[in-house]
Structure 1
């Protein structure tokens, strides 16, 4: 049956500043061929299949006399909300969320703003959207997932998981929720496309609960706790170690982190394992910042206090090197200014920029206005131009694709409520001429680049520049996902390359997914004068978990073979004939499998202008899942009707989110609906072109919407509410199954057939009075349970029992079944006298 759909588009951004002069000069990394300079147009062209996104207009902004030494800030401008969270999106726009109300007025993050830099800092550059699900994402964590959506977890609604869909400008609430509270948690994307969350707590609502157990997320499977990695020492109450741990993917594939001053290392395989590594070379506290300035090397700076509002800041800095068996730390030169609540940004030339902060606590009278940068080559700091606003707690700073830096937010609580922003242009934007005047620098420009990249042999990629100037360096900088002085796994990766004329061959084949984790990166090119290009945004994809290649493809007609959509190469494509009516593409597996998600990529070699309907666009598409008999068991809604998404780069069909479970299917059919009566009257064509199709498996919930019963309903909360796909655990939600108070009450679901059962997950009540009340048995049987005593059922032949003495302050408990466990009936039986409350019961199997 049709259900909600998550849709995402990828754009390649290679935009330049709209300045008057963008001339070019010759040069190459190896012995160059000399060429005459070619002046590019004022707006940078895009790669094939890219969409043009102009950058911040600066026509009326005159360079300051010292801008070539200290940089320059734009005038202060209004921002639609207090930006306590900000992300650069794959199309180069900036998503921010926060509050329009101060703390005294009841600050909540119920609004989202998308900023288009091409319109500058004026009010019309912003679009503001409310949270349709009333999810309060104040003090949450975020990253961009494998599906291109912004994953947002925790915050004031600290169990919740949401995703921002950039295409539809919509916040989508996911059903899957975390097992522990994650107010002030941190995310890291892993080499296999999954995401791990560490740290956080429950806003100190009594009784206090801490996110001491990391959890793993994928859209196909939801959340799974790493029970073997539980660490109250690394993520507990002491020294605020639950507060946004600074965490990074290390070169060995493990996650390295610092909680206040405690270093730790997390192995996410299996049940997980966490190793405490000792004291860091610099105490970050909860107010310091950290960035991976080179692969495996992290700069720590500032902070030092264990509380937000008090304590003298540190000017100290240190480097931690993760490239050996054990991390090695050493101090480096201190900053020019001591800073709490500072933000750090990685620049295209490899330097680290820090902005904002206070010398004491969160006090405005000790605010630091001057920016400063750290050079990894000299390990020295340089003071730069001062900003105009106090940037304290809840402020953000991030690198824009242009190479400029956005500064916003601060307050709630604090000495200001800074609903404003500035943009900083580092010194590389400027050049001092022979007569002493300072002008905008002549910048290199990327003309063509691929939107996607991979790993290993064959991953090398060529980009075309606007001219033949000599290039000094190429680097990847991960897209910012910043809050509270920390951007999710922010890293700078130099790219080996060789140059011939205006073409650069990038040796991506030297990278693995631990060095360059899957995700989106700004690709910057720096010329021999130290001037960077605007970025092309490139997505590295690992294809982890994609099972599509295990099937065989066919299609309704053939221009390019159907199997091309399964070759893992995004610059080739399968295609039907241009003039075919209602074309289709089909994938058949040798046997049925649990399909959780399908991702469709459109071909890159489109030549249509923005908004034009290309013949091979992913428009008017439906995805259907067929069983062994070829009967449709699930179908999506019509995707991208009439090209409403304006030629998207991909469509993501989240089967599990739409259906509440993975769906077992043998075949997947992608069909495009024609919108004219007959092919001969069509002038635009009906080709279905697919660069790639990816399929991911997930768990099948056998209990979803199956018949359920229990021993007496209380407050109208009937047994079926525990199998409705809703995880709400508060009594006030009225979404719990709740029995009358009794001795050994029970709840039961009928799976309608004897099935193979792999595991059972039970979600309990989370009200503070009753979060850990359950001491219960889970009984599984092929035959019905007579309504007799618990003791009798435990002893009855054919019944297998699993005892859970406590939820241990977790929202949910996972129970692994014995090998070969089958069952039709699952009963949860409370051991004692009370009401039995269950938010959800999931039975996974086949």
Structure 2
């Protein structure tokens, strides 16, 4: 047995044997916040977005955390999808629950920067973004206001002109986060959570057509995945959660839904992930009734085989993955799983195929490929390859991956090489970022290679100015590594590399290259290097503290540079090329969390982010006489149990197996002791104030409603305890 299994588990034969059947979970690390949105980026990092203007990058290779500047608003509950050139469109955002923002922004992973797009027609909270065959992005649905009315106008973002096109003839009230897919005919199909399946023609002013009705009812917080070209699986969801699954083939003359075998466990808030071998992995969820029943987490993963249409139960994770969990595929064939409603722990699942032998090698994949193109790649195991797959990079939230899809590619094996043919149509694979995998006869995948498929409709046409007479620069070579400042000639024009890059096309990757004006008498120096931030002083502050001066140390600062706090400029004093000072207001540190500090030089060159930590104020000392047992890791706690940890008290909102009270805030709430002698909640005679609609409640507040008691999991403006189970939990007195 070789490859990953041999490397990781030498001498653990029985463990390897089991893992080759059920896979294996591993706990990796804790993130600085609980993510809600996960987007895998071409550079190996994952863009993570949480609540309250929190966003960061997680490096899937080094497991390091990299700061991300703020776009200037809260991205929580936005929609997201790839543009053809590898940038990511995020549409909508959060004002309050069910109150969406009309804003949209484009994130560039190459520069770690945001570019605002024009506002949409109205707010969207829980919208879906779908990349269209022409490279534009369709945005639908999303709640606008507290009446939970959804935005009925489909809009198409056109990156080539940075503008929106309204589909005024296709207005429709869709559920929030509808599950949308590009079909083989180029139309966009809505398969859930509603039972009615429709397709949208996005040409002109748009029009909807009926396709079919599903068999198993409403599937809110279920999952859907296109597991083959035009073939879609939906599973789980609903209240109470379902185990049922059904499929549709959009290639048929009259598509219809067909029931397939059910999962072994009913699930809601589950995630489905396409694997390189063509199977579908399902992780997480809750099996109990209600919006987010934390008492019934589902730990075992399940694997769906499209060939047999049957499920196999795999190994169990150790962290509840409920509402706001996410899962996505990494190039090494593993699946990273995050979130679960205030759960910061990261887990990684290694599917069984990683324990079945050595991986096939893969090299020589071009960074950019075209439709119908035939490319030759190298693999010493070419003769043993059984399948070549193309999987789109992931953008996932709320149980739905808005980007992933798979194509099985035709290939011909030679001596150490494979000739692979890319999809012939953008209807089969919309333009954007994908991973190419080789899969051997045992189902073991290679490490995936990221490619950009198709042109970019968002590219900027280069200026017509040609090379000045007497100027001579080397011709651009696709795939060659270029340093920042390198100058090349391409199609009669010159371009300078703004950033180091692996040979991206100068006329397409305008974020890496800029037109270069050549002088016949002297060659201008390359652009000044971008500023870099090395340290902050101070690097932390206490929430609620006073305004202060922040010293930013680094390099390549120039006069006129500004320090940005979460993307917003602050009054800045230029001290020198290695130091700036900025005025940070009390409002900037009004709440605990992290802030991203960046430097912007005149002309637009920007630094990477440095993290500034805003710490919570010290906990108030416990009232004299209060005494509760110390928290013990791994001990089973019942709902209502009270423990002491690091000098503070915590009450278990739900039964849990000893999760850390300061990390697993979903399971624990802070507890204020009001009695000098009490050692446990009074068993009888409990009296709490009646819930009042619209009143502001702090986290940990306890109210009485309809004869039952509820504890506020988070601060909220008086949401109904029996409806807003996200904000309230039953409280045992």
In the alignment, is the contact (CA less than 8 A) between 1:80 and 1:128 conserved in 2? no
Contact 1:375 1:381 in 2 (8 A): yes
Which residues of 2 match residues 576-587 of structure 1 at below 5 A? 576-578=472-474
In the aligned structure 2, how far is the partner of 1:369 from the partner of 1:61? 24
**Aligned residue among 250, 253, 264 for 1:322:** 250
1:8-48 residue CA offsets vs partner (Å, 9 max, x unmatched) = xxxxxxxxx995968xxxxxxxxxxxxxxxxxxxxxxxxxx
Whether the aligned pair in 1 keeps the contact of 2:497 and 2:514 (CA below 8 Å) is no
CA, structure 1 residues 209+470, in 2 after alignment: closer, same or farther (shift >3 Å)? same
Residue in 1 that maps onto 2:68: 129
**Equivalent pair of 1:606/1:614 in contact (CA under 8 Å):** no
2:101 aligned with 1:158? yes
Change (3 A) 1:312 1:607: closer
Point out 4+ residue stretches in structure 1 off by more than 6 angstroms: 57-62, 651-655
Residue number in structure 2 paired with 1:68: 20
Q: Aligned residue for 1:488? A: 402
Instruction: Note closer, same or farther for the CA distance 1:201–1:605 as it changes in structure 2 (3 Å cut).
Output: closer
Within 2, Cα distance between the matches of 1:71 and 1:285?
28
Q: TM-score, normalised by structure 1?
A: 0.56
1:83 aligns with 2:21: no
**SS of residue matched to 1:303:** coil
SS at match of 1:248: strand
Q: 1:617 to 1:532 in 2, by over 3 A?
A: farther
CA distance in 2, matches of 1:113, 1:18: 32
Tell me how far apart the structure 2 counterparts of residues 524 and 333 of structure 1 sit (CA, whole Å): 28
Is 1:670 matched up with 2:523? no
CA distance, structure 2, for counterparts of residue 284 and residue 672 of structure 1: 60
CA distance in 2, matches of 1:368, 1:314: 13
Counterpart check, 1:503 vs 2:417: yes
> What is the distance in 1 between the residues matched to 2:12 and 2:79?
35
Q: Could you list the per-position Cα deviations for residues 493-513 of structure 1 after superposition, in whole angstroms to 9, with x for gaps in the alignment?
A: 1001110021111122x5211
Q: 1:185 to 1:59 in 2, by over 3 A?
A: farther
Q: Is the 8 Å Cα contact of residues 447 and 466 (structure 1) preserved in structure 2?
A: no
1-structure distance, mates of 2:514, 2:283 = 51
Aligned-partner SS, 2:268 = coil
**How far apart in 2 are the matches of 1:252 and 1:452?**
25
Where 1:182 maps in the other structure, the secondary structure is: coil
- Deviations along 1:367-411, whole A, 9 cap, x unmatched? 100000000001110000000100001000000011100000011
Give me the whole-angstrom Cα distance separating, in 2, the residues matched to 1:72 and 1:284.
33
Match of residue 350 from structure 1: 278
Q: Distance in 1 between matches of 2:11 and 2:480?
A: 35
> Once the 2 structures are TM-superposed, how far is the Cα of residue 333 of structure 1 from its aligned partner?
0.2
Do the aligned partners of residues 545 and 422 (structure 1) sit closer, same or farther apart at CA in structure 2, a change above 3 Å counting?
closer
Matched, 1:186 2:99: no
Pick from 350, 358, 362: which aligns with 1:442?
358
**Kindly tell me: are residues 672 and 552 of structure 1, through their superposed partners in 2, closer, same or farther at Cα, counting changes over 3 Å?**
closer
Unpaired stretches in structure 1, ≥5 consecutive residues: 1-16, 23-56, 100-107, 236-240, 305-310, 412-416, 432-440, 559-574, 579-584, 586-601, 624-638, 658-667, 685-846
Match of 2:54 among 82, 101, 111: 111
Work out whether residues 459 and 509 of structure 2, in 8 Å CA contact, stay in contact via their aligned partners in 1. Answer: no
Q: Distance in 1 between matches of 2:12 and 2:452?
A: 33
Once residues 180 and 678 of structure 1 are traced to their aligned partners in structure 2, the CA distance between those partners, rounded to angstroms, is 52
- Write out per-residue CA displacement over residues 49-96 of structure 1, whole angstroms, 9 at most, x where no aligned residue: xxxxxxxx9999995551010000112521222111011111222111
C-alpha separation between the residues in 1 aligned to 2:488 and 2:494?
Answer: 15
Q: SS at 1:67's partner residue? A: helix
Q: Which residue of 2 aligns with 1:205?
A: 146
Partner of 2:427: 514
* Pick aligned residue for 1:478 from 392, 403, 410: 392
Deviation of 1:491 (Å) = 1.2
* Alignment correspondent of 2:504: 649
Answer yes or no: is 1:294 the counterpart of 2:228.
Answer: yes
1:262 alignment counterpart: 196
- Tell me the residue number matched to 2:330: 400
**Superimposed CA distance per residue, residues 157-179 of structure 1 (whole angstroms, 9 cap, x where no aligned partner):** 520001112122223322x0111
Q: Tell me what 1:223 maps to.
A: 164
Residue among 363, 371, 381 paired with 1:455: 371
1:386 corresponds to which residue? 316
Q: Give the match's secondary structure for 1:324.
A: coil
Structure 2 segments unaligned to the other structure (5+ residues): 95-99, 527-733
8 Å CA contact 1:291, 1:489 repeated in 2: no
What does residue 340 of structure 1 align with?
Answer: 268
TM-aligned CA distance change 1:389 to 1:605, over 3 Å: closer
Q: Secondary structure at the match of 1:364?
A: coil
Aligned-pair CA distance for 1:130: 4.0
**1:606 partnered with 2:519:** no
1:518-533 matches, within 5 Å, as 518-533=431-446
Q: Is the 8 A contact 1:557 1:577 kept in 2?
A: no
Q: d(CA) in 2 for partners of 1:135 and 1:449?
A: 38
Distance 1:91 1:284, change over 3 A: farther
Residue 677 and residue 74 in structure 1: after superposition, are their counterparts in 2 closer, same or farther (change >3 A)?
farther
Q: 2:219 aligns with which of 266, 285, 288?
A: 285
Tell me the residue number matched to 1:428. 353
Partner Cα separation in structure 2 for residue 117 and residue 425 of structure 1: 14
Measured in 1, the distance between the counterparts of 2:10 and 2:324 equals 31
Q: Is the 8 A contact 1:294 1:492 kept in 2?
A: yes
Once the two structures are superposed, what CA deviation does each residue of 1:677-736 show, in whole Å capped at 9, x if it has no partner?
966x99x9xxxxxxxxxxxxxxxxxxxxxxxxxxxxxxxxxxxxxxxxxxxxxxxxxxxx
In the TM superposition, what is the alpha-carbon distance from 1:149 to its structure 2 partner? Answer: 1.2
The alignment status of 1:555 with 2:467, answered yes or no, reads yes
Aligned residues: 513
